[in-house]
Amino acid sequence: MQVLQVQLEVGPDPAEVGRARRWARSRLAGSGIGDDEPLADTLVLLISELVTNAVVHTGCPAVLRMLFGGGGVRVEVADTSDRPPTPRHAAGEDTNGRGLELVDGLADRWGWQREGAGKSIWCEVDRAPAPLPDQMVAPIAIPVAAQAVGPVPDQGAQVSPFRVRC
């Protein structure tokens, strides 16, 4: 399996979060994930949360990495702080404390690990394949209110032998 990795160094400044989002959008587009795909928005939000946590809670520089391959995207944010991430539960109108809850809700998997003297927080989002045309609409059987209107067609025919009374 071939994996493409790109990375961006992020300074300990809240303005870096916007720069990381713009950089991520351009790299996503370059990897074939269009700006109009829901996956792009999800990944940018995850990146925004992880970079914000690194910048705000550690005050340290960080490295944002995106890895493309294996049917999904892995996002990692590594910083030099040895403090593990601490999920919080925001209440009511709190303006912060929801970052890792968002990551947990949006990512297919997430976690953290020690990396050098610091740590890396990562999340993965699977890229679901587009449905095939014959998988987009499931057939619906309505046996109760159906009445036969003629002979049943051959197996390969596309005509329905039923008319539905409402």
In this structure, is residue 153 part of a structural domain?
Answer: no
* pLDDT at 98 (0 to 100): 77
CATH code of the domain in which 50 resides: 3.30.565.10
Contact 148, 161 (CB under 8 A): yes
Contact 120, 75 (CB under 8 A): no
Strand partners, 163: 147
In this structure, is residue 110 part of a structural domain?
Answer: yes
Quick check: helix, strand or coil at residue 11? Answer: coil
In this structure, is residue 165 part of a structural domain?
Answer: no
* pLDDT at 159 (0 to 100): 38
In this structure, is residue 87 part of a structural domain?
Answer: yes
* AA letter at 138: A
- Two tokens, residue 95: 């303006």
* pLDDT at 93 (0 to 100): 76
Quick check: helix, strand or coil at residue 48? Answer: helix
In this structure, is residue 21 part of a structural domain?
Answer: yes
Strand partners, 15: none
Contact 85, 25 (CB under 8 A): no
> Which residues constitute the domain of residue 49?
4-126
Q: Which pTM was predicted? A: 0.73
* pLDDT at 73 (0 to 100): 96
- What's the total number of domains in the chain? 1
In this structure, is residue 164 part of a structural domain?
Answer: no
166 residues of the chain, pLDDT tens digit each = 678 999 999 999 999 999 999 999 999 999 999 888 999 999 999 999 999 999 988 888 999 999 998 889 999 999 999 888 887 777 777 667 678 888 999 999 999 999 999 999 999 999 875 555 555 444 444 444 444 444 444 444 443 333 333 2
Contact 105, 89 (CB under 8 A): no
